[in-house]
Amino acid sequence: MERPAVGELTPPDRTLMGPGPSDVHPRVRRAMTTPLVGHLDPAFVDLMDEVQELLRYAFRTDNEWTIPVSGTGSAAMEAAIGNLTEPGDTVLVPANGYFGGRMASMVERAGGEVVEVDAPWGEPLDIADVRAAFDSHDPDLLAFVHGETSTGVLQPDVPELTELAHDNDALVIVDAVTTLGGVELRVDDWDIDVAYSAAQKCLSAPPGTSPLTLNARAMRKIEDRDTDVRSWYLDLTELTDYWGDERAYHHTAPITNVYALREALRLAAEEGIEARWERHERVASALRAGIETMGLGIASESWLPSLNTVALPSGVDDGAVIEGLLDGDDIEVAGGLGDLSGDVLRVGCMGHSARPANVLELLAALGDVLEDEGIDADAGLAAARRKL
Ligand SMILES: Cc1ncc(COP(=O)(O)O)c(C=O)c1O
């Protein structure tokens, strides 16, 4: 076999305004070039404590069990669902977006019974439907997505949903992949039992470590299981010795990703988590004002600032717009998924990407790409500037 003639790594310099990953802050990139230490080195053990403390701050929780899972958001999702679901448990999951479907698949693999709570794609769950599902199915768990990245829908009424679940002796799992660090999320005040996220969205670290937090109620359910968790790697009882006082070997932590997450969380703490939520809302409001003034709509009913679904004029090929932005301006956005496929662009406004310059650059580029549709980019830019 011939030696592969692979050249030096020269990735294009993109502006990441899609559903994730988002732009990485230069300080996070620098953190990733610092020397490796062993994953049980006393220096790394101290760093693990710091990451846990920073994660608690971002999640707004005092939960002892707050860790970065090694893996992407789906690993944290599977850790949450796989540990909390025992064979035979009934689990309510949402059917109003792509990631609710992934939850359902994970519940089935864990041996649980799935009950779907439906709403049209582009709308949040209605609490009356969730209540009706509780009355009919008496579930053990309620899982839902706080920010549905496939539809740009923010699920409102989180405290009401957790109260409903607890009144019915069920626990609550919240997917905060597209909200942690960008949209108001209060794990303790809202009485969420388990929440998980990912590094590459509003925290703006590279994918590979995924925040997870569990309260004492959730940990008790795991400790009281009659059967082993089906995944060895994600079994939280196996991880206790690694993240608990012992710091004994379980698996080799992705050191460089943990460095990156630590720096990203440090940036969030420096900014202040509430100021960060406010920045996302302000910058995304400017994007929204620009989009709407240009005659394009935001397709979701309950707006998620970190992910905006932009309705395209009928007849416009979403693939051509996405390609035009990437080839012409080095800007990444994405198309719709599932029921919204072909109808929308998904534009992220997350973490280090949620900056005025990015929004203005995107609006101008979108105006160029949609020039033939009579889109007035100047008016859109002016509307956006007024909000910034
Ligand atoms: C809401 C939501 N949940 C879960 C995931 C899965 O995360 P990952 O792709 O990092 O595995 C994503 C990814 O985009 C997401 O947006």
Measuring from atom 16 of ligand 1, which residue has the nearest CA? 149
Q: What is the pLDDT of residue 297?
A: 87
Q: What is the pLDDT of residue 301?
A: 81
CA of 91 to the centre of ligand 1 (A): 20
Ligand 1 mutation pick, 149, 179, 194, max ligand atoms within 8 A of CB: 149
Tokens at 64, concatenated: 């002892």
Tokens at 89, concatenated: 């448990």
The binding-site residues of ligand 1, defined as CB within 6 angstroms of any ligand atom, are 19-20, 72-74, 77, 99, 145, 149, 175, 177-178, 198, 207
List pLDDT tens digits, range 197-208. Answer: 999 999 999 999
Report the distance separating Cα 184 and Cα 89, nearest Å.
30
Q: Tell me, what amino acid is at 173? A: I
> Within a 10 A sphere around the Cβ of 207, how many other Cβ atoms?
16
Report the distance separating Cα 362 and Cα 23, nearest Å.
14
Report the distance separating Cα 33 and Cα 31, nearest Å.
5
Q: What is the pLDDT of residue 70?
A: 97
Residues of the chain with pLDDT under 70: none
Question: Is residue 239 classed as helix, strand or coil in its secondary structure?
Answer: helix
**What distance lies between CA 352 and its chain's CA centroid?**
14
CA distances from 220 to 80, 83, 158, 192 (A): 13, 11, 22, 15
Rg of the Cα trace of the chain? 21
Measuring from atom 2 of ligand 1, which residue has the nearest CA? 177
Report the distance separating Cα 141 and Cα 126, nearest Å.
17
What domains can be seen in the chain, in order of their start residue? 26-270 (3.40.640.10), 273-387 (3.90.1150.10)
Q: What is the pLDDT of residue 299?
A: 74
Ligand 1 mutation pick, 74, 185, 234, 332, max ligand atoms within 8 A of CB: 74
Strand 194-196 relative to strand 209-214: parallel, antiparallel, unpaired?
A: antiparallel
CA of 336 to the centre of ligand 1 (A): 15
CA of 295 to the centre of ligand 1 (A): 30
Q: What is the pLDDT of residue 362?
A: 97
